[in-house]
Structure 1
Amino acid sequence: MRNFVVLIGLALLTACGGVRDDLANVPDPVGAFRLGHNIAVVDEPLQGPFSRTVEDAEWQAAMVTAVEDRLGEARFFGDKYYHVGVAVEAYVLAYPGVPLVYSPKSVLIFSVNFFEDSTQTKLNDELIQITVFEPCCTIPLLGSGFTRGKAEQMEGLSFNAARAIERTMRKNADWFGGTPENLEADNTILEGNVLIDNPELVAPQQEPPAELIAITNPPGTIGLP
């Protein structure tokens, strides 16, 4: 059974390179945006249920790196500086659950604010709060605790958080002197705090499909291990 689950995970992970490869592309500019201060504040964020523990300094380093990789001057070189401030509010780094029955998911909840450098003006009137799941490869019936270690989970969540920040910027490109964009929905990025708004998305009770039960429990076996 364990080998079967691992094979499912490896097959799905191999199939999804596109989202994670996008940093290699030269992005369209977002108005005049150039990254100024890249600030991540982490002060004992809420650790959700069924989660591995992460030190504040680890989250801070992961978020600063992810924002720099995505929004730094190697990719965006407009003629005005803007500051990005991120506050990590809550997270779940999933432990391995029970395959095909109970598989908690990894999430990161954070808020982000944008400031124009020369006037120190805050650009967003309201707090922007975002929940991200790990990017791509959300494996049905299999949480990432089976296939990824703590560092890999943090890297994936931070990567997707930076993606979410860029998407927010593009949707509100007029803040940076550009034209707002209409982007397709991404089910790994949600507004708000999913631990409050819809905790079932993090730790669902799952019923395996009948065809999987048939595969993993051929005639004469006793049931899911």
Structure 2
Amino acid sequence: MPNPPVFRRPLAALLALGLIASCSASGENLGEPRPELGNFRLCYNIVTTNDAVQGPLSREADLDAFAELLRSEVNRRFGRYQGDRLYHLAMHIDAYVLAVPGIPLVASPRSALITSVNVWSDALGRPLNEEPEQFTVLESAGAGSVIGSGLTQSAEQQMQQLTRNAALRIEDWLASHPEWFEDTAEPAEDLETTTTAEAPETDPCAYVPAQHQTTQETPPEAAG
């Protein structure tokens, strides 16, 4: 399986994130499943953090925890889709800002996360997007964002909110490409019918990568 393209460097975008005042839509509530995702079923859910950049006016993040929270939020949002085709999401944390306490309404930085995503088709054994899709998500609107979340939230709470919003943005992106999830090819084997005499309990999605891995991985050959 070929290596996916190199993720774009986020340094230029980070320069604008220190005092951003706009806010992301909240990913706290899942809402209704998106019909555009058709036969989607999440298999591998991989997050890497190599070369992640800490932005200006930011607390330092525990990258292992950040990756674990993003995987958890992606599982929460996409685990409800039970289609008959398997897809993999390979994500990379490019950069982040976890707001530090500042002077309210004058120098209160906003938390932000830049992440890049590839979606892989298990049946095709390759990513469906030609280049990684990069998103910038911000903290949600609310009382904390008015005075700066650095004054009202812990670093873990900030990471939780950002990863929820990132999972929502990924869902919106996938929904904008319904052609990826249509019945245009032979479906991958359904999870309930993948058992064999040699491996009666084999689950094609049983592989779970280390939460803290620092090199970008692609879904294993076993997924194809």
The normalised TM-score by structure 1 is 0.66
CA–CA separation in structure 2 for the residues paired with 1:132 and 1:50: 17
Structure 2: runs of 5+ lacking an equivalent:
1-24, 184-224
What does the per-residue CA deviation read over 1:63-118, in whole Å, with 9 as the maximum and x for residues that have no partner?
1101001111xx10011000001000000000011112111000000100001012
Q: Say whether the 8 Å CA contact 1:31–1:174 is kept in structure 2.
A: no
Match of 2:34 in 1: 28
Q: Offset at 1:58?
A: 1.2
| Structure that is richer in helix per residue | 1
From the CA coordinates, give the structure whose radius of gyration is larger: 1
**Ranges of 4+ aligned residues in structure 1 off by more than 2 Å:** 18-23, 135-141
Q: Say whether the 8 Å CA contact 1:43–1:56 is kept in structure 2.
A: no
Considering Cα pairs closer than 8 Å and 6+ residues apart, tell me whether 1 or 2 has the greater RCO: 2
Structure 1: runs of 5+ lacking an equivalent:
1-17, 179-225
Q: SS at 1:126's partner residue?
A: coil
CA–CA separation in structure 1 for the residues paired with 2:123 and 2:105: 53
Q: Offset at 1:142?
A: 1.7
List aligned pairs for 1:1-225, cutoff 5 A: 19-23=26-30, 25-29=31-35, 30-72=37-79, 75-137=80-142, 141-177=146-182
Aligned pair in 2 of structure 1 residues 90, 138: CA closer, same or farther (>3 Å)?
Answer: farther
Q: Offset at 1:140?
A: 6.4
Aligned pair in 2 of structure 1 residues 100, 26: CA closer, same or farther (>3 Å)?
Answer: closer
Over aligned residues, Cα RMSD in angstroms? 1.9
Q: Say whether the 8 Å CA contact 1:105–1:143 is kept in structure 2.
A: yes
What does the per-residue CA deviation read over 1:143-191, in whole Å, with 9 as the maximum and x for residues that have no partner?
111111111100000000000100000111211118xxxxxxxxxxxxx
Q: SS at 2:119's partner residue?
A: strand
Q: Percent identity?
A: 39
The amino acid of 1:47's aligned partner reads: Q
Match of 1:7 in 2: none
How many correspondences in the alignment? 158
Q: Say whether the 8 Å CA contact 1:92–1:108 is kept in structure 2.
A: yes
Q: Offset at 1:139?
A: 5.8
The normalised TM-score by structure 2 is 0.66
